[in-house]
Amino acid sequence: ALPGHLLRGLLPLLTIFHLERAEDAARRAGLSTQPIWRKLWDDVMKTRPPNSESITCWRKKFLETFFSNVLHGVLDVSSDWRLHDRHFSPLLHSSPHVSQLTLCNMLQGAVELTAEHNHKVLENLAASLRVLKFQHLLSCDQPIRRSLVLLLHRLIHHGSVSQVSMCSWPVPDTVLLVLILTMSAGFWRSGNAPACQGSPCGLCREEDKAQSQQSAQEGVERGCTAEQEGSSAENQKRSPKEADVCMTSVLSGPRSPPLQNPACEETSSEVPCGHSSIQGGSSPPSSSEQLSCHRIPQKTRRWQNSAVGRKRRCLRRSRGHYADPEDLYDFVFTVAREDNSELLEKNRTTEGENSENCTSSSPGSPCNGHAGYKKRGGPAGTLSLKAAHRFRSVSTLELFSIPLNGETCRTLSNLLSSWVSLENLVLSYNGLNANISCILSGLRALSRHPECRFRVLRVSDMFSHMPCMELVRCALSALPQLHTLSVSFDLKNQLEGPRPEASPSCSEAEIPESCLEVLEIRFPREPLHTALLLPVLKASKSLQQLSLDSATLPCPQELGLLLEVLKECTPNLKKLSFHDVNLAEHQKEVLLLLQDPGLQEITFSFCRLFESSTAEFLSEIINTVKRNSSLKSLKLPGNRLGNYRLVALADIFSEDSSSCLCQLDVSSNCIKPDGLLEFTKKLEGHIQQRGGQLPFTQLRLFQNWLDQDAETAQEALRRLRAVCSVVNDAWDSSQAFADYISVM
């Protein structure tokens, strides 16, 4: 090993490949490579990453971004000597550091990653990747979809991806969208295996071969018994050995009939209803559906069992019907009993229907427990994905700015109904309107499953189809096990006529006791009626965080009523936030909140606190906070504090204060450099009086006028950083003012 002083001079001269290899040696020598990776970022990427203050490892950040840029062809590795080495492959070397990957446009990245020469790269991603994002997608042809199927199967079904996000898709391709949703939910029809290769992936084949050998041996042992049990060839059930051979033939592919419409097969939006069985609290169903699109006329029965004991789970078969609670994803659906072998030929002929017939149901059909499900022999001739292979699925699904029509919502609803691994669902600006009821229907069915893990629901949109509080009531009634519920709308629905009335089941039925811990509501300028919020709070005894955004107070007494209800119904409330709520005339209530001994974090964001206040009100705020030892965080962004009020706030930390305030947020408050410097000097004086002991740890200063005197601002920030952590940005106040004037 080189001496530390030599290694320190050598590290900046290495390519990224050798620098990464030298990481352990540098650590043993007590050296950090973080400054080198940060400089590499500045030299190569030439951009400031978002939330740069929260980046803990610049090596990972650089190599992850480097991988993405090389994959998408936006970075020329020959442009810098540190980026290329003939002994190293850029993708292969950086892939172990990639935990988040974004695929864009025509999915060229998916094609590249599934190419034969990148086999090892894909193996690395299967182990390291946690978040897979799709952005600005465009329609693509069938070969690209095949590559996407391979990629999703490897990264989700046999990999470690736990979150799938899709965003910015103004005109989504239904075929592609349903394909991604279905595979994210853990479904993969055998027809979706790369048809050109005629078999599932290698991991599936290995598992299938091992299980087939085991089943064959078991069948031989039970062969004599099976022969004696049969009294009639017509009524006799097939032996386990025969059933294994039958299933193997479906999985392995070459002996299966060819697909008439591969595009349809890949993207069929037929999904499992599963509501009836889920409501009954049983395991994933296995009754009369078919495995894939291949009819098996003989009568047979297979027990289902989950996979056990492998890191990358694959489809398994077992004699037992016990489902391991630690392995919820991998199911084997039974080969159905089929009384009419003529359906086999009928199904083959109808598989040639166009892809429009592969969707879940007609747009006008109602959403119920069986929405999107077509029975065997229906006009489309497709089968429910209940008959598909089920693999590992993701725990988080996010859909941003992707319009979802009724048909897609019904498909998603049915997927949700049995998606037991799903923990987080984020639906943002999807134009749901009335289809939100369809989504809730699927989630309601999911919540009745004994293994349901669903905990977080976030819904935001431009227009609200129903009043916010009605939607909150409906969601909590359907999902009492929710821990986090966020409902956000920009505007009321502007369609002619009144908005549809909420269903009586939501508006009249009592809300069951819930596990809700976080409730966030953004009103589309709706009045905040405490009477409507009261049943929600009564049912949410565990509530710890409440956020109310853009609400109007219909009368001066409304905020006081809300505080009484909060004190009575939410004894565990720790965080309370008001954003864009006019509190200028509610000074008494503001002071009551600041002295509440139960609250640890209070936010008044853009609440016009000092619009009509006097100097006495500011003094009362300071004295109240000084006496409150339980308050840890006070956030006051957008309240026009200015220099004078900021300097006064420093007295919160005076010698006679019992405050334990750790975080203060004064972003967007018209603070200038000289005011910040005065605040710093006053704070330093209080620290000296207290013997250097101060609980204050963070000051947030986003979007203030610190660019008006750069020298003074730098001095203030330098002195502040010796006292606490300072989080700020390089904000151009002149441009912001020009933008403000332009929209007036």
Interhelix angle 530-538/468-478, nearest 10 degrees: 10
Let me know if domain 591-744 sits in CATH 3.80.10.10.
yes
pLDDT at 460: 96
Contacts of 676 (CB under 8 A, 6+ apart): 643, 646, 701, 704, 706, 712, 713, 716, 717, 720
Identify the band that residue 426 occupies on the pLDDT scale cut at 50, 70 and 90. very high
Domain boundaries, the chain: 470-494+504-573, 591-744
What's the pTM value of the predicted model, to 2 decimals? 0.76
> For the ranges 44-53, 331-340, 591-600, which has the lowest average pLDDT?
331-340
pLDDT at 343: 34
**pLDDT 10s digits, 97-146:** 999 999 999 999 999 999 999 999 999 999 999 999 999 999 889 999 99
Tell me which residue of 580, 214, 223, 158 sits closest to 392, measured CA to CA. Answer: 158
**pLDDT 10s digits, 504-524:** 445 556 888 999 999 999 998
How large is the average pLDDT for residues 233-237?
43
pLDDT at 361: 36
Q: How many Å apart are CA 556 and CA 559, to the nearest integer?
A: 7
β-strand partners of 424: 396, 456
Tell me which residue of 373, 384, 376 sits closest to 347, measured CA to CA. Answer: 376
How large is the average pLDDT for residues 608-623?
91
Residue 364 pLDDT more than 50?
A: no
Q: ∠ CA(629), CA(632), CA(638), 5° rounding?
A: 125
**pLDDT 10s digits, 723-732:** 999 998 878 8
How large is the average pLDDT for residues 317-334?
32
Scan for tokens 């996000």, then name that residue: 165
pLDDT at 260: 34
